[in-house]
Amino acid sequence: MRTKYLGVGAIYPIKSLFLCIQCGEPRDRGRGSVLCDGCRPKPIQRNQEAILQRMERRKEVGLQRQRWVQKHLSILTVQPRSSEGRARKRRYQREMALLNDLTVEQWGAILRLYDYRCAYCGGKAGVLAKEHVTPVIKAGGTTAPNIVPACSVCNGRKGRLTAEEFGIVPAKRLMF
């Protein structure tokens, strides 16, 4: 603690050499203000109207944001954030750009033609996928001549390859 000579032979201890610019009393150095606690106005006294206005604006902005989200909820939920979701979205857009005229009846006829077996390995799987002989990435549409049933193993192994590149060409193809 420092001391300061204030005249007439008296030395008074003070907290710091920083004085309030309004009243001249010693003030705390650590607060960053040039006023002491007594002279410094309290925030709620000084800004009560401004604070209430800000609260009202924040409330209105929050309500506007909620209304916007409710209005655009379908847009917000459609756009996936993961790379897998983006790939699924791109595939969907490619498929929509191609010819897609496969009906449920045609898919049933294709399954019966292959006796509900995989077109590549001949295995009888529980669930058969609609496999594109010419992949969607290579402009193969979802049409009856381009679709064969495939088990998940063959479908995954074939991937983006055509049937010729994969090495196994389905023997039977349904032509409409």
What digits encode the pLDDT tens for the residues 74-126? Answer: 666 655 567 777 777 877 777 777 777 888 899 899 989 989 998 888 888 88
Q: Going by DSSP bridges, is the β-strand pair 129-132/2-5 parallel, antiparallel, or unpaired?
A: unpaired
What is the torsion angle, in degrees rounded to the nearest 10, for the CA atoms of residue 15, residue 17, residue 21 and residue 27?
-10
SS3 of the chain: helix, strand, coil, percent, to 5: 45, 10, 45
Domain residue ranges of the chain, discontinuous segments joined by +:
2-31, 43-76, 97-166
CATH code of 97-166, in short, is: 1.10.30.50
pLDDT at 173: 61
For residue 154, which of 139, 173, 169 has the smallest C-alpha distance? Answer: 169
pLDDT at 95: 74
pLDDT tens digits, one per residue of 2-24: 555 555 555 555 445 677 777 87
Six-digit token pair at 80?
């996936």
pLDDT tens digits, one per residue of 19-36: 777 787 777 666 567 777
